[in-house]
Structures are given as structure tokens and as C-alpha cells.
Structure 1
Amino acid sequence: MINFDFFAPTKILFGAGRESEVGKQVAAFGGHRVMIVYGKKGGHIEASGLLERVHKSLRDAGLSYVDLNGVVPNPRLSLVKEGIRIGRAEDIDFLLPIGGGSVIDTAKGIGYGIANDFEMEDLLYGRVKTDKNLPIGVVLTIAAAGSEMSSSMVLTIEDGMMKRSYGHDCSRPKFAIMNPALTYSLPTYQTASGAVDIMMHTMERYFTPTDTDTSLTDRIAEGLMVSVRDAAQVAVKEPENYEARATLMWAGGLSHNGLTGAGRVSDFATHKIEHELGGMFDVAHGAGLAAIWGSWARYVYKTNPGRFAQFGEKVFGDSDSITAWENWCRSINMPTTLAELGIQPTDAQIEEMAEKCVFGRNGHIGFFQPLNKEDIAAILKMAR
């Protein structure tokens, strides 16, 4: 293993009904004036009664709150800026996203903006850095992004539709409430897309250039992926299977809190390529990853064929890992090409995405096999 830091400070409250404890947790972490961040006004968070249960828990703890709704998939910087404006005016000192990765990342962005004096574009484009954010707690309703335990945030800058990220341990949530039953109502497509995202967060760490012994981390990663492989196939057929939902929810956090990458260099090239798809075509993140990974794999596998064979054998029982992965994706109705994803980018659009992908990144992405603009364009064309 190479030298590494591992920091996972998020307190997890896992199980049925735990959202009733949210007020107590916010107060315990020093919150007084809370901004609740969630998705569509009048949507499931409200209609299911979850928002009112959270309101009641906060009131019972003697806390005040304001609501901010309107978060969309591939979350927009414009709403983050609106949240910053409201948060400053309301003297907000704690952020409480209810939802999944898009909502959590929006809250992280709002926290950065309130806690610092800079333009958010400067943070996202790497012109400034910070170690300051407001404290954040999460009520998780989607098992996918792992943002509830991670240090990362991804936002879409509408000017140019650029998806950019920033990560620092200061943005790791103080607590995350995980009630698997809150995911029962997710559409099947969203459940499957989330499962792919969880798998990919581990796969991006599994395909590593590190050539020292990382067998312990391998076993942790492989066990997590096997569990997600099986749970996803159950959850898409039995939406109210608590154990399958519980496995996906817990795996989502573990896949992205750094555990499955400890002691080695991660890749994350497929994620960066998909971010440009999301920015241009507004596709579901996990589905976009599913549509790209096979082409990335076929492009780079000669860098370390043994790694691919190990992945296939340990996770799918098949040394032909690329085909096995694509077969699993199809088993949960996820796409394996851009055409199956429902988009057919032109050569010009592919060139634009490839250019954006390396913009501000020294002309390349990835570490398993570093990729330049031409490589990225070739992968996207293969994926069509």
C-alpha cells in the first residue's frame, strides 16, 4: 500500500424511522437556524409527509428553519447561489438536505458560499481553495451518490453547462440518517442508476495504477461490489424488499467515503467523461456511467489485463469482465451504449465534450491510463 489518510467522521443513524431523530442530531452538532434543501416543490418529499416529519422534529428540538426547494438532477449553480443569498439573509448556521446526491451537493455548495467570501465559479474552476463550510446533516432518500459520507461536490455551471467538482473534508456531513424504507418509492430506473453509481465509485478506485500490495482493499471492494450486484437485481424486482434496499443504502456511503480506495491511487476518468454527458444532455448520472464504462474498459484494458480478469472473476465469476459488467447492466435495464441511453452525439458534440473534459486539468484525466482529449473523443465514439 502507498501512504494514505482515511477520515470518515460522519455519524450514521441507520434503520426504520430514524428521521424522527433529525432535530436532536442537528442540535447536538450546534445547529440553531436550519436550511432544509430538497427537490421538486410538491414532490415526493412533501407528498409523502417526510418534510413535515422533519419540520416537526426540528420544532420539537427548539430549532427554526427555512425551506429551499427546486434541486434538479445534475444540480445547478444558480440554485446554490440563491441558497447562499437566502442563507446569509436568514443567518443560517446548519444545512439539512433531504434527498440524494444532487440535493446534498447543492447543500455543500451553499455551505461553501455562506462560509467564504469568493465567487463559486472560482472554487469550481480551481482558482481558489477553502477548508471552511457550514455543518451539514443528511436525511437520505436515494442510495447512489455516496455524497452523504464523502468530501466531494459536483455542480453544473450553466454558463457553458460545465460540470465541475470540489472536494474537502470540511464538507463531509456531520450525520446521515439512512432509513431504507424511504427508498421504496423510487422509480425502477432511478434505483438501477443508483446501483451503477455505487458500483462505479468502487470500480474507479479498483482500477488503479498502484502496483504495491492492495489485496486487503481489493477484498473489501470486491465484497461490496458483489453485494451491490445482487441487491440491485432484487430491488428492481421487489421495490419494498427492505434487506436489498438496506444493502444498497449502506453500500452507497461506504463506496464513496474513501474506504475502497485506501492505500492506492484512484482513476475517476469515466466519471469525468460522464460529467460532460450530464452537462450537455442532462442524463441520469449512473445510466451515463453504465453507457460509457465498457468503451473506456476496451480502450484501456491492455494497460493491465490481469486487473480486469481479477475484477471479472471476483465480482462476476467470469474473467471476461467487460462483457460480464455489460450483462449485469442489462439485467437491471441499464444502457451499455449511448444509443441505448437515448442520445446520439455528433462528432462536433463529442469534440466539445472532450475539450471540456480536459479543460483546467493539464490536458488529461485519469490515472489507470492517462487520457488526453483525443483519447476521450475516441472512447465517446466507441460508446455511440
Structure 2
Amino acid sequence: MNDFQFQNTTKVYFGKDQLGHLHGEVLKYGKSVLVVYGGGSIKKIGLYDKVIKELKENNIEVYELAGVEPNPRHTTVNKGAKICKDNHITSILGIGGGSTIDASKAIAALTLADTDNIWDLVEKKVAWNNALPVLAMPTIASTGSEMDKSCVIANVEKGVKSGINGDILRPKAAFLDPTNTFSVSAKQTACGGFDIMAHLFDMNYFVNSDKYPLQFNVVQTLLRTVREQLPIAIKEPENYAARATMLWVASWALNSFCTSGYKTQAQLHALEQFSSTYDMTHGLALAIITPKWMTYLLNKDETVVADFARFGLNVMGIQDQGDDMANAKAGIVALQSFIKDELHLPTSLSEVGINDEKFDELKVKACYGQDALPRAYRSLSQKDCLNIYKMCL
């Protein structure tokens, strides 16, 4: 196990009756807050009114940034930071999905940086080491950004997604109310759930290193929990137990505990270049790629057989086929069926109207401009990435 430091400083308020603590958290840092949200779903479910009332009744000055995109754009972050600078705002509250919370983190860092463009921080043209305090209120079980120290931003001018990270970006407090996820559509619930699985695959389960029993077994349990609870949340959107479980799993998938001692690989997330290029849902793209990636590796590298067999048996719950290769193949089939029949998601790019026109461009991005994907679970060249993309058609 590699040396590591672990400190997650996010205070979590979990449950239906925690909103009354919001003003106290905001007032720790000052008397003003920028409320960041997306397309307005928080208004439809009544959450917006509750939050604004809670803040204003406690004499907190409220500013707003609405319309954050599903893949938050760097221009939106720049706009939010300008609001904060112009009005001397003392904290930021991100309400919504991971994109909104990621945007809030980026705004927090940019506000205190010596530039007006977040991409200067992403490209390390401008140093930064401080940020406004961020509070998070997720309304979907997905990225786990509410306890994480990273953020990802899309630069549509360059056609790339990248980000910044640092402990200072970790939200000071997170308000996790499962009832705020009741209105999330079946498709978005499924996409968010698969994003959770991909985080667990990338951060711990499929890594090119020793498996550390504590972290690995926790991750395997989290994966199995998603497999069991996600279909329930899709079928019964107001099932509190299922929604609560998914929301809590999302936070644990990315709160740094599961990655402690590991050098993370994030191979699937590197391959997933479609959401920034085509503005498609990140979790959906991962759901299309993952079974094809597994199949490709299984045919290319026999050293993955044991890992994929364990996945089939211990996560997907397949019947033991008698040998590792058969179990590995059955596990991939079970995953594909899970995506199609229980999550009701497309399983190919052609189903969502994407062809191979930009594959040559995407393979370069997947490898970060290098000949092969660095620190990969297994070695993948640009040609390998291209072949996987073709399998996704």
C-alpha cells in the first residue's frame, strides 16, 4: 500500500429535515452566498423556494447563477467568478447534479485567483492555492462531487474536458436529502448510477496494482449495492430507502477513502470523450463504453481474466461457470444485460446518433496526446482506443 494522507473535511447533513442547518453553515464564512444551479428543476420540486427562504430569513444576501450546463462550460464558470468578485461574495452553494457542484468549485477557485479565466488554472498558467468555501446540495445520485476535491469543466472552444483539484475545493458541508432525488427521471437515475459504478471501477476495482483488502472489499460492496438498489430507484422513484442508499453510495465512491493508498488509473473516464464532444450524458457514454472495453481487454490480455471473473461472480452475481474465462465472459454479458434490460439505456453509439467521424480525434484525447494511455489498468495505445470506439458503434 502506498503512503497516503486521508482527511475528508466535508460535514454531511443527511436526511429529510436538515435544511435548517444551512444558514448556520453559510454564516460561518460571511453574510453572502452565490447560489449556483442548472436548468430550473430545483424550482419545479420546490427546493429553490425553501433554500432562498432559509437564507433570506437569516439575513443572508443571496446572489444567483442559473443555467449551469450538464457539462459545465468554462465561460459559465468565468461568469460566476465575476459575480463573486464584483459583489465580494463570501461562499458558494451548489444545488443540483455534479456539474453544478463542479462549477461551484471552479468558481470558488477562480474568484480568488489572479485571472478571470478558469482555463488559466486548468492549464496551470496561473497558480492558485485558495478558494471560497463551497457548500453542496446534490439532487441526483451520480458524481459524488459533494464530498470530492476535484471538478471537471468543459472548454467548448477547444472541445476538451479537464479540471482542477485540491483539498481546498472539498465542500465544507453537504446536504443530502434523498427526497430531492425523487423527481429525477428514470434515464438520468440510470446514467447517474452507472457513473457511480465507473468511478468505482476506475478508482479502485480495476487497477494495475495490488488489491488492498479493506478498500477493495468496500468498493466491491458498493458496486454490488448499486447493482441491487439502482433498478429499484428506477422502478420506484419515491422509494426512500433505495434513493437514500444510492445518494450515500455516490458520496462514498469518490470521497477519497476508497482510493487511499492507490495510484488511480481512471481509464474508463479517459476513454469517455463523447460527453464533451457531443454534449451527451457522461454516465450514458460510460455505460456504452464499459462492456466493450472489458470485451476488448479480455481478448487482448489474459491477465485481466481473474479480475473480470471476480467481477462477474461477486458484483453481477452470475452462477459459477467452472473456470475464470467462462466467468469473465458471463460477467460481461450480465453487465450488458443489466445496462439494457434493467437500466433501459442504449448500448451503442449508433442508437444515440453518433458515428465514427471523430474517432481519430477522440483517440488522441483519450491518450492525452501521447502514444498510449498513461498509468492505465492495462496498456492501451491510440489504436486500441480506436478499436474500442469502433466496437461501441
1:37 equivalent in alignment to 2:36 = yes
Structure 2 SS opposite 1:316: coil
Could you say which residue in structure 1 is the equivalent of 2:156? Answer: 158
Gaps of 5+ in 2: 319-326
Indicate whether 1:101 and 2:95 are aligned: no
Match of 1:339 in 2: 350
Match of 1:147 in 2: 145
> What is the CA distance between 1:363 and its match in structure 2?
5.3
Identity over aligned pairs, percent: 33
1:295-310 mapped onto 2 (5 Å cutoff): 295-301=292-298, 302=301, 303-310=303-310
Q: Displacement, 1:122?
A: 2.5
Q: How has the CA–CA distance of structure 1 residues 68 and 252 changed in structure 2, closer, same or farther, with 3 Å as cutoff?
A: same
Contact 1:23 1:54 in 2 (8 A): no
Question: Which residue type is aligned with residue 215 of structure 2?
Answer: T
Tell me if the contact between 2:113 and 2:127 (Cα under 8 Å) persists in the aligned partners: no
1:1-384 to 2 correspondences below 5 Å: 1-28=1-28, 30-40=29-39, 43-118=40-115, 119-205=117-203, 206-211=205-210, 213-274=211-272, 276-301=273-298, 302=301, 303-318=303-318, 319=327, 320-330=330-340, 331-340=342-351, 342-346=352-356, 348-359=357-368, 364-384=373-393
Counterpart residue type for residue 336 of structure 2? E
Aligned-partner SS, 1:148: helix
Does the 8 A contact of 1:24 with 1:58 survive in 2?
no
Deviates more, 1:121-130 or 1:350-359: 121-130
Give the Cα–Cα distance (whole angstroms) in 2 for the partners of residues 243 and 286 of structure 1. 22
Q: Deviations over 1:60-83 (max 9, x none)?
A: 332111011011111111111111
CA contact (8 A) 2:45 2:183 kept: no
Farther off after superposition, 1-10 or 190-199: 1-10
TM-fit CA distance, 1:258: 1.7
- Report Cα offsets for 1:134-193 as digits up to 9, x if no partner: 110011111101100111111110212211122111110001000000100111100011
Contact 2:371 2:381 in 1 (8 A): no
CA distance in 1, matches of 2:120, 2:75: 14
Deviation at 1:23, TM superposition (A): 1.1
Give the whole-Å Cα distance in 2 for the aligned partners of 1:187 and 1:234.
13
Provide the TM-score with structure 2 as the length reference. 0.91
Question: Does structure 1 conserve the Cα–Cα contact (< 8 Å) formed by 2:364 and 2:370?
Answer: no
Return the offset for 1:35. Answer: 0.2
What residue identity is the alignment partner of 1:321? G
SS of alignment partner, residue 165 of structure 1: strand
- Using the size of structure 1 for normalisation, the TM-score is 0.93
* TM-fit CA distance, 1:362: 7.6
Kindly tell me: are residues 367 and 37 of structure 1, through their superposed partners in 2, closer, same or farther at Cα, counting changes over 3 Å? same
Shift of 1:127: 4.2
For the Cα contact (< 8 Å) 1:143–1:191, is it kept in 2? yes
Q: Is the CA contact (8 Å cut-off) linking 1:25 and 1:175 kept in structure 2?
A: yes
- C-alpha RMSD over aligned residues: 1.7
8 Å Cα contact 1:73-1:102 kept in structure 2: yes
Amino acid corresponding to residue 5 of structure 2 in structure 1: D
- TM-superposed CA distance for 1:34, in Å, is 0.4
How big is the shift at 1:299? 2.3
**Aligned equivalents of 1:362, 1:257: Cα separation in 2:** 31
The 1:163–1:183 alpha-carbon spacing in structure 2 relative to 1, beyond 3 Å, is same
Contact persistence 1:202–1:261 (CA under 8 A): no
Other structure's SS at 1:345 match? coil
Distance in 2, Cα, partners of 1:159 & 1:88: 24
**What amino acid is the match of 1:238?**
E
CA contact (8 A) 1:365 1:372 kept: no
Between the aligned partners of 2:143 and 2:36, the Cα distance in structure 1 is 16
- Residue 324 of structure 2 is matched in structure 1 by none
Per-residue CA deviation, residues 212-267 of structure 1 (Å, 9 max, x unaligned), is x5122121011111111111110111000000000000000000112222222322
Most deviating of 318-327 and 174-183? 318-327
SS across alignment from 1:254: helix
C-alpha distance in structure 1 between counterparts of 2:258 and 2:44, whole Å = 36
- Supply the distance in 2 between the matched residues of 1:335 and 1:259 (Cα, whole angstroms): 32
Q: Structure 1 regions of 5+ residues with no counterpart?
A: none
Q: CA deviation at 1:361?
A: 6.2
